[in-house]
Amino acid sequence: MAFDYIVEQLSARKSLSRYRQRVCLQPTVKDNASQHFAMHDTKIIVAGKEYINFSSNDYLGLNNHPQINKAMQEGIDKFGLCSSSSSLVTGYHYAHQALEEKICQWLNKPKCLLFSSGFAANVAFFQTLGQSTGKESKHKSCHFFLDKLSHASMLDGAYSSNAKVKRFAHNNTTQLSQLLSQSDSKNKLIASEGIFSMDGDQAHLKGLTDTAKTHNAWLYLDDAHSIGVIGKEGQGSVSLLNDTKSSDTNIIMATFGKAIATSGAFLACDENLHDYLINFARHYIYSTAISPALAWATIKSIELIQQEQWRRDKITELSMLLRQLLDNSINIISSASSIHAIIIGDEQKALAVSKQLRKQGIWLTAIRPPTVKIGSSRLRVTLCTSHNTNDIKHLARSLNEALI
């Protein structure tokens, strides 16, 4: 039978407790005239039952914000919903330009480029920067050095390029420096996440910037889980260093679909790299541009993020409360972000705990290999501005009952 490995591999996933299935969120009827999906607060409805959602990436609680919704409708009225073309044909609208300028001003970067998703932006960047250059050997042209816990899209982009790829132990700048010293390329790039998506811990940004300077390397930062959440105006990880300018991080990638609460992503960089990507990045050249109405709504979201520090303060307060209420025996990774990983270890146990929490009205997804390494299955708790103190108390009490 053709492609019989499909059934075999699915069966293997099931036997290892790594099989994945989607769940469909159901609408709730707010009135007789319309239906609204329960995606704008902490509650979700699955199979007719309501849960407190602790697996959302809506960190700042901005999804379905009335001002963002209004801006979206204004964008539709001004530009239409669809861009109707790629950015290099007729798809680049004033809304896109305005959003790029807003991001550049926000992050103090010269140029910005919009993508349909963070995955597309990461793959586009690494593939394009790491493509072969003439007769030059791939081992001579470009070397990438990625943190061991870098996102799958970064790894896919790097390994599908023509560059030589090395991975350094998580946040280990000593090993990184050794690997850089062994490289014979003049084109070296260090890549890391600002806030790591599965652990919630921060990159050692000062060490990375110092190492990059020492070895004349570029620094690339995937700030998908930091943008909006970190910094006085939500600028992300680079704002953590008072003595480091944004320019010390050569390229910043971040998504709109998490704290910013819209959809898409961007790369912020210098003028030359910006023009190089426009001319050589296949994901950009051959993709329809993101919705101009969505770009217009994203501008409003960024404005709210800049203005409303209380949203970030509340995440900090709720995170402190959770740690105070959890039993000391529970293995939770230290984090200053919205992400709090509770390490369970075994896949089956992680699934069992997740199932037990659902009986308590808590939606908390079990994260298993290959997303995380074998033996480190976990519950990935995300705390959002829309949660309240009672939500956290209920979560902590339920976790304590399930894990001790």
Residues 46, 362 contacting (CB under 8 angstroms): no
Q: How far is CA 118 from CA 21, 26, 237, 255, 283, in A?
A: 22, 26, 17, 5, 11
Active-site residues: which are they? 57, 151, 193, 197, 222, 225, 258
